[in-house]
Amino acid sequence: MFDTALTWSDLLFLAKGAWMTLVVTGVSVVAGTILGIVFGVIRVQAGPILSAPLTFVLDVFRSVPLLIQLVLGNALQAILKLGWAPFTTSCVVLSLYTAAYCTEIVRGGIAAVPPNTRRAARSLGMSWRQDMCYIVAPLATRVALPSWIGLSLGVMKDSALVLWLGLIELLRASQVLVTRLHEPLLILTICGVIYFIISFPVARLGGYLEKRWSPND
């Protein structure tokens, strides 16, 4: 007969960890997306030479492993005596990490808009802002959405690394229970199921929107 020492309190502990994962992911993805849009537009408009310093900084965030970024970010805020809590440090580092990848997604989406379409919009008297809002943004979003969905799901899984800063998210909560109950198979299975429940609706929503916006439909 199946027997386990896992209690409802332990499941509630996992749920709180899952909530922390969602909060950290949500804050990081929203902030990183906003920064990514700004940086992406700057890279397109400024050209490769003027945007070279920004490109270099973003390349650093894409090249250095996230765990190292979290550790260095936590050490830097301590050296500067900012007094940030682990949650704040985690969100800041993950937001910059997300922005580095989102910038390339945005840049690629804008670059995918046919130049003739943009020239036609400007010839009709549209301003740069109107061109970006009404022409470029809708077309670029269709191109960038699948990559953005993948990035968001990746950030959610990468957020497990914030446990090194002492933040109790889903994976850290499962590790605490494994250490106490010595039932790794059951607990990690539950942890994986929770990750799936969180990720699946987002992935399906992305697939639905991609199919809905397909030019062949």
159 near 94, Cβ under 8 Å? yes
Residue 7 Cα to chain centre, angstroms: 33
- For residue 131, give the H/E element and its range: none
Residue 22 Cα to chain centre, angstroms: 11
Helix locations, 64-183, DSSP H: 66-79, 86-111, 115-123, 128-130, 137-158, 170-181
15-19, 161-165, 205-209: range with lowest mean pLDDT: 205-209
Q: Report the distance separating Cα 57 and Cα 198, nearest Å.
A: 32
What would the two tokens of residue 127 be? 């301003």
In this prediction, residue 50 carries a pLDDT of 80
Q: Please state whether 214 falls in left (phi above 0), alpha (psi between -120 and 50) or beta.
A: beta
What would the two tokens of residue 30 be? 């929203």
pTM of the predicted structure, to 2 decimals? 0.89
Tens digit of each residue's pLDDT (9 = 90 or more) over 146-183: 899 999 999 999 999 998 888 889 999 999 999 988 88
206 near 145, Cβ under 8 Å? yes
User: Would you identify the CATH topology of the domain 24-167?
Assistant: MetI-like fold (1.10.3720)
In this prediction, residue 51 carries a pLDDT of 84
pLDDT band at 1 (very low <50, low <70, confident <90, very high): very low
